[in-house]
Structure 1
Amino acid sequence: MKSILSFLSIVLVFTSCKTEIEKSGLINNTTQISNVLNFNGTPKTAFDKKMLMFSDQGAWFAYSFPDTISNFGGFSGPFLMTQQNGVWSSANLSQLVLKDVNWKSIETNSYASHLEQIFKSDSLELKQQLVFSSGHTALIKSEITNISNKEAELSIHWKNQPILAEGIEITSSKNEVIIKSTKTNAIGHLLFPKGTSIKNTDSTYSTELENISLKPNQVKEITISQTFIFTEYSWEKEKESLLATSFDSVLTIRKLEKEAQFLSLKNNLKSQFKDSIYQQVLAKSLVTLQNNWRIAAGELKYEGLFPSYHYEWFHGFWSWDSWKHAVGLSYFNTNLAKNQMRALFDFQKEDGFIVDCIYRNTSIEPHNYRDTKPPLSAWAVEKIYEIDKDLEFVKEMYPKLKKYHNWWYNKRDHDKDGLCEYGSTDGSLIAAKWESGMDNAIRFDDSKILKNGDGAYSLNQESVDLNAYLYAEKKYLILLAEALNLTEDAKTYKKEAALLKTNIQQQFYDTKDGWFYDTNLEGTVFIKGEGSEGWTALWANAATHEQAEAVKNKMMNPLKFYTKVPFQTMSADHSKFDPLNGYWRGPNWLDQAYFGVKGLRNYGFNVEADKVTVQILNGAEGILGKGKSIRENYHPVTGEGLNAENFSWSAAHIIMLLTD
């Protein structure tokens, strides 16, 4: 009963939005939120990731459209993130076969809410739709229509294409196929219509042929479900919920849900970006974040987002990725944004430390406790609060944010001068560089590691971006403290912020170069090499206006940072600039580009900020237009998309570029 009531409550919530959505012209998934990504592809092996994949509701599995005739009549997959670092279960786990029918054409359409494909022969039309009813289950509805003027006699059955993943065993019981694997504790359940007869071996199944007659224009409807559920959840409850709902009601809810989310994003667009091409970019960003969404499972006690399902080593949650995801999500799904924050703070140590990254299954990949990531968590919490004014969430998070903020000064301030350094917990130099999030940036080429105490090490340099982030954290903690009427906390942070702001302006800014750099511990030597860390003081509002103007002038220099995809991680005229081999030595990461654009806006350089935003979105391959995915980073000179596809923080920062 609880699941049914929950389902009905969702209907009521989104039905209340329906009038506004209808007025907006978005109802029925208009072109802005259809086919923004190309999901066509049939996997050849278990690890084939050349195609994009669709999922929703935080499911740990995903689908594509088949692009080979032998697989028509179903959806590619599912791709299982329930085991290993993502494998295809099958090229087509539930293929509907119509005996002796030759399909002549196929049309595919994807929406944020569902997938849809239409197959046609001379006499028949098969329409199939796939929608996620929960984070455990996808529903597939097939409609067979006789489009001829004669009665049609058909024989139909379901079967699977060969299993691609290792360790899978198939059994059947009544109208259910059960899938187990030696690689995971998640169990698959395929439900067919009541009365369906199934035969199986260890690695395949098929249903008995059903003979049907269809008069002209008559339609035969069949709905099946595919569930992949972890053992901490109840299959019996999920099955009960499935039997109490219909495909059409679920699809209606998903349409209303996605259209409401898109409307929320659209309503937040800056006036200069109201054009439909930017609305389409928002839709692509929404679908990208949706496809990386995972419900709580295993070690992960809260839902959140992968950086990318497409890259095998990104099947976990990272800390500063999470803060960025949460800000992007807050514009259309504050509940998911809050849980994204909770996921990492669930692992917070007593001293305030936040782990770098966490995974569902630590036998595949262990959590990384060797370092944390830059402190952007108070920014994320304040941004969420700014939108939904949930004071209870602030009460929950504020003590944890304080502990994390204080941790930096307790464990990462080697000389106790109020300016922090990046470092590691294990004394390794590589982990200390990782802690910056800018793993191989040139400013760390000659860095050395220093011991602060047990389990606490620092680099022998003070970083401008870290201290700018900490300054911003103090400003956001002030806002949160004031919301909670914690006046003494607010006073303390105001004093600390004023002092830190002065120190940033005096120690890290080179008046000769007009740029902010890291320095040695004493603050007497700049670590030269113009990089994106140089404008974080502008993002944090920690620079003077004169300093900001000088930095802006370099940012807008075509020989330095105003490239085809502006505001990359290091100046294009530097000898070590190498976007194709550099990772953080030249590519444009959209988080850093956003910090630069927001920094310009903070100091009133809105004309330049608008110009750069347009150039970023036009210059980066595949961001505008339909089909191609949003990438991890981009070549700043050619615009080529680099590294992982379907990258969450890139999508989140596109939302920020257009709305913040």
Structure 2
Amino acid sequence: MYLNKVVKHIVILILVINFSCNKSKEPLKIDKKVDYLNYSKNILDYRITPKDSIDKSGLMFSDQGAWFAYGFPNSISSYGGFSGPFLMTQQNGIWSSPSLAKLQLKNVEWKAIETNSFNSHLEQTFKSKNIELKQELVFSSGHTAIIRSTITNKSNSNIKIEYQWGNQGLLTKNLTLSSTKNRLKITSSKSTATGYLLFPNETVISSSKTTYTTVPTTLELKPNEFKELIVSQTFIFPEYSWEQEKKEVLKSNFELVLKARKLEKEEQLAHLISNQKKQFIAKKYSEALAKSILTLQNNWRIPAGELKFEGLFPSYHYKWFNGFWSWDSWKHAVGLSYFNIELAKNQIRAMFDFQSEDGFVVDCIYRDTNIEPHNYRDTKPPLSAWAVVKIFEKDNNLKFVKELYPKLKKYHYWWYNKRDHDKDGLCEYGSTDGTLIAAKWESGMDNAIRFDDSIILKNEEGAYSLNQESVDLNAYLYAEKLYLAQLAEAIQKNEDVEVYKNEAEILKTRIQNQFYDTKDGWFYDTNLEGNKFIKGEGSEGWIPLWANVVSKKQAETVKNLIMDPKKFFTKVPFQTMSADHPKFNPLKGYWRGPNWLDQAYFGVKGLRNYNFNTEADLATVKILEGAEGILGKGKSIRENYHPITGEGLNAQNFSWSAAHIIMLLTD
């Protein structure tokens, strides 16, 4: 289990080099006086002892893109192991066991428990009168977590301690246990992934199909003497080699793995916190950044099954979000670009891996299509070129731009080929299967009031449009033209640069003239003819400001409305529709009232684009301090928020919310 001193130094050097390669082009100057990792201490509450396989009453810790996660036992009576693991390797995520590797010390009465979590690892300490048991869990890879249990004699006398491992039964009939010597194997009828638990060499295991125990072992400790016990838990898909992973586990050193993981997280946090806007430099905002990184980390998954590149779930905590979505992916990538460039790039690659010949990018993709099929019924709003530019700004990697540019270009013009019903140069949301619901999904704002009376129209076989031209869609396309021009210029596609700029200039005039209501001072969707507004002030009305496509006068009127407390400047500002609208309903509305942080960010960034920086700063503070759980420790970042009360709504541990918190504080 241990490396010699020379190999230790080589390994740690390699780890440092590898982690450094994930950062931006600029060398990072870490302030040695700052303990950046401490910003993440107990930032999320992982206490849960699962009662059944689908218990979602608590949060879970994961790292390195693993498809499994852990929690802390929520009482002394559940001592001896970490909760779980929670397996995202099968179904829509299940708990395997209350504690799959529970270490039992005979005749010890525990008096206290202390738990601490960091972005790098989990640790828990159990104390009795004479004995202390400290357990630490760290992910060594995307397949394996290693647990170190340290038993210390705190008395003044020699003590004999009898210990053994076991589980508290499995929480699902779909898993089966089998054992050989010091190894436990876990197979599943619902997944191709296999689990392996490796115990110390002297361990002897006795198991049935659902339970196991190890033969009790006795050790004697002198006063202040301690004994370390190492157990590894691996859950690995067949496209990876268990034999190779086992070799890595057996030669690993827990202390080196832990140090490497701490270094990695310290650098990520330092990189992000050092990029904070000056007006938001404060401990509470640095902690919010630490929570945001951890939210993204807990949703990170390595390639498996249908997914050929790593990326992020929207939320592991909600059973229908165990896949990658295109719109989410573009936003995740921008947030990730501030501290993990390679993961940001792979999140983009994951979606374009499913690009069709005509340029279409699928809405969402999954590891296992037996659980959920990929959604080819629609795509999502075009923000991919924005994401690639934001990545390029961090590392100036022309190779990545050259790789993605033709795909981005093809996707951009797909909109004009398949979603411009009247061929007037303005696009509509739509679907591939002709259904109205999929066309609404394509907007990303599923049930927004602007679609209440929409009708679906056929463009051609496999291509349908709504009977309305959407202001946000065309503003996104305007921004994409300028982002594509920027990328084309970087790789010297000069003939393309002029085309994009000319197209953008024409589109700019169309947006300013067709979608802006001079009477209301707001941007609305219109009918196909462009002579009738689809009224109802929603967040789509400030997307043109984010795209920087409006006149200063138009920006001024929109600014005045979104800063109105009766409309959008609520406790959590810039929600999806005006608070004074009769259909405003945050609790049951989804996109009819809640605050989604992506839309709130677009509003703030839109203000900054027109130098309304005082208003942008005020809105940023209100968003971060009004939304429940963004600041402070314990609660997770939510899918959306009640704009009047600040209550967190819907899914917990939501990735794009975390990504936009990063943008609000740094961009």
Query: What's the counterpart of residue 25 of structure 1?
Result: 34
Query: Would the alpha carbon gap of residues 114 and 511 (structure 1) be closer, same or farther in structure 2, given more than 3 Å must change?
Result: same
Q: Is the 8 A contact 2:624 2:631 kept in 1?
A: yes
Query: Would the alpha carbon gap of residues 15 and 51 (structure 1) be closer, same or farther in structure 2, given more than 3 Å must change?
Result: same
- The structure 2 residue matched to 1:245, chosen from 252, 272, 296, is 252
Q: Is the 8 A contact 2:155 2:224 kept in 1?
A: yes
CA distance in structure 2 between the aligned counterparts of 1:6 and 1:524, rounded to whole angstroms: 67
Q: Is the 8 A contact 1:21 1:259 kept in 2?
A: no
Query: What's the counterpart of residue 494 of structure 1?
Result: 501
CA distance in structure 2 between the aligned counterparts of 1:7 and 1:258, rounded to whole angstroms: 15
Is it true that 1:93 corresponds to 2:120 in the alignment? no
1:365-444 matches, within 5 Å, as: 365-444=372-451
Give 1:194 deviation, angstroms.
Answer: 1.0
CA distance in structure 1 between the aligned counterparts of 2:404 and 2:358, rounded to whole angstroms: 15
Query: What's the counterpart of residue 305 of structure 1?
Result: 312
Give 1:245 deviation, angstroms.
Answer: 1.4
CA distance in structure 2 between the aligned counterparts of 1:6 and 1:560, rounded to whole angstroms: 57
Q: Is the 8 A contact 2:28 2:271 kept in 1?
A: no
CA distance in structure 1 between the aligned counterparts of 2:29 and 2:609, rounded to whole angstroms: 33
Give 1:634 deviation, angstroms.
Answer: 0.2
Query: What's the counterpart of residue 9 of structure 1?
Result: 14
Give secondary structure in 1 for the equivalent of 2:32: helix
Is it true that 1:464 corresponds to 2:490 in the alignment? no
1:198-597 matches, within 5 Å, as: 198-597=205-604
Q: Is the 8 A contact 1:532 1:567 kept in 2?
A: yes
CA distance in structure 1 between the aligned counterparts of 2:179 and 2:306, rounded to whole angstroms: 30
- The structure 2 residue matched to 1:642, chosen from 649, 653, 658, is 649
Give 1:6 deviation, angstroms.
Answer: 7.9
AA partner of residue 34 (structure 2): G
Give 1:445 deviation, angstroms.
Answer: 0.2
CA distance in structure 2 between the aligned counterparts of 1:537 and 1:258, rounded to whole angstroms: 37
CA distance in structure 1 between the aligned counterparts of 2:18 and 2:454, rounded to whole angstroms: 54
CA distance in structure 2 between the aligned counterparts of 1:10 and 1:414, rounded to whole angstroms: 53
CA distance in structure 2 between the aligned counterparts of 1:430 and 1:61, rounded to whole angstroms: 33
Is it true that 1:618 corresponds to 2:625 in the alignment? yes
Give 1:69 deviation, angstroms.
Answer: 3.1
Identity value in percent: 69
Give 1:21 deviation, angstroms.
Answer: 3.7
CA distance in structure 1 between the aligned counterparts of 2:483 and 2:173, rounded to whole angstroms: 49
Give secondary structure in 2 for the equivalent of 1:82: coil
- The structure 2 residue matched to 1:141, chosen from 141, 148, 160, is 148
Give 1:22 deviation, angstroms.
Answer: 5.8
AA partner of residue 244 (structure 1): K
Q: Alpha-carbon deviations, 1:492-514, whole Å to 9, x = none?
A: 00000000011000000000000
Q: Alpha-carbon deviations, 1:543-576, whole Å to 9, x = none?
A: 1000000000000000000000000000000000
Q: Is the 8 A contact 1:15 1:256 kept in 2?
A: no
Query: Would the alpha carbon gap of residues 393 and 569 (structure 1) be closer, same or farther in structure 2, given more than 3 Å must change?
Result: same
CA distance in structure 2 between the aligned counterparts of 1:6 and 1:355, rounded to whole angstroms: 40
AA partner of residue 452 (structure 1): N
- The structure 1 residue matched to 2:55, chosen from 41, 45, 48, is 48
Give the unaligned 5+ runs of structure 2: none
Give 1:15 deviation, angstroms.
Answer: 8.3
AA partner of residue 177 (structure 2): I
TM norm structure 1? 0.98
CA distance in structure 1 between the aligned counterparts of 2:625 and 2:393, rounded to whole angstroms: 30
Q: Is the 8 A contact 1:298 1:360 kept in 2?
A: yes
Q: Which moved more, 1:517-526 or 1:14-23?
A: 14-23
Q: Alpha-carbon deviations, 1:140-186, whole Å to 9, x = none?
A: 00000001111111100000111002311100112100000101010
Is it true that 1:151 corresponds to 2:155 in the alignment? no
Give secondary structure in 2 for the equivalent of 1:38: coil
Is it true that 1:82 corresponds to 2:89 in the alignment? yes
Q: Which moved more, 1:6-15 or 1:461-470?
A: 6-15
Give secondary structure in 2 for the equivalent of 1:126: strand
CA distance in structure 2 between the aligned counterparts of 1:354 and 1:12, rounded to whole angstroms: 35
Q: Alpha-carbon deviations, 1:170-208, whole Å to 9, x = none?
A: 001121000001010100000001121111011111111
Q: Which moved more, 1:278-287 or 1:17-26?
A: 17-26
CA distance in structure 2 between the aligned counterparts of 1:471 and 1:352, rounded to whole angstroms: 18
Q: Is the 8 A contact 2:66 2:142 kept in 1?
A: yes
Q: Alpha-carbon deviations, 1:105-131, whole Å to 9, x = none?
A: 000000000000000000000110000
CA distance in structure 1 between the aligned counterparts of 2:405 and 2:306, rounded to whole angstroms: 24
Query: What's the counterpart of residue 36 of structure 1?
Result: 43
Q: Alpha-carbon deviations, 1:355-403, whole Å to 9, x = none?
A: 0000000000000000000000000000000001111000000000000
Give secondary structure in 2 for the equivalent of 1:23: coil
AA partner of residue 424 (structure 1): S
Q: Is the 8 A contact 2:354 2:361 kept in 1?
A: yes
Query: What's the counterpart of residue 627 of structure 1?
Result: 634
Query: What's the counterpart of residue 73 of structure 2?
Result: 66
Give 1:10 deviation, angstroms.
Answer: 1.8
Q: Is the 8 A contact 2:12 2:260 kept in 1?
A: no
Query: Would the alpha carbon gap of residues 198 and 273 (structure 1) be closer, same or farther in structure 2, given more than 3 Å must change?
Result: same
Give 1:13 deviation, angstroms.
Answer: 4.8
AA partner of residue 479 (structure 1): Q
TM norm structure 2? 0.97
Equivalent residue pairs, number: 657
Give secondary structure in 1 for the equivalent of 2:73: coil
Q: Alpha-carbon deviations, 1:225-258, whole Å to 9, x = none?
A: 0000001100000011112210110000100000
Q: Is the 8 A contact 1:154 1:212 kept in 2?
A: yes
CA distance in structure 1 between the aligned counterparts of 2:258 and 2:30, rounded to whole angstroms: 16
AA partner of residue 454 (structure 1): E
Cα RMSD for the two superposed structures = 1.5
CA distance in structure 1 between the aligned counterparts of 2:641 and 2:507, rounded to whole angstroms: 34
Q: Is the 8 A contact 2:76 2:112 kept in 1?
A: no
AA partner of residue 9 (structure 1): I
Give secondary structure in 2 for the equivalent of 1:588: coil
CA distance in structure 2 between the aligned counterparts of 1:65 and 1:542, rounded to whole angstroms: 50
Give 1:77 deviation, angstroms.
Answer: 0.1
Give 1:467 deviation, angstroms.
Answer: 0.2
Query: Would the alpha carbon gap of residues 19 and 441 (structure 1) be closer, same or farther in structure 2, given more than 3 Å must change?
Result: closer
CA distance in structure 2 between the aligned counterparts of 1:221 and 1:8, rounded to whole angstroms: 25
CA distance in structure 2 between the aligned counterparts of 1:162 and 1:571, rounded to whole angstroms: 51
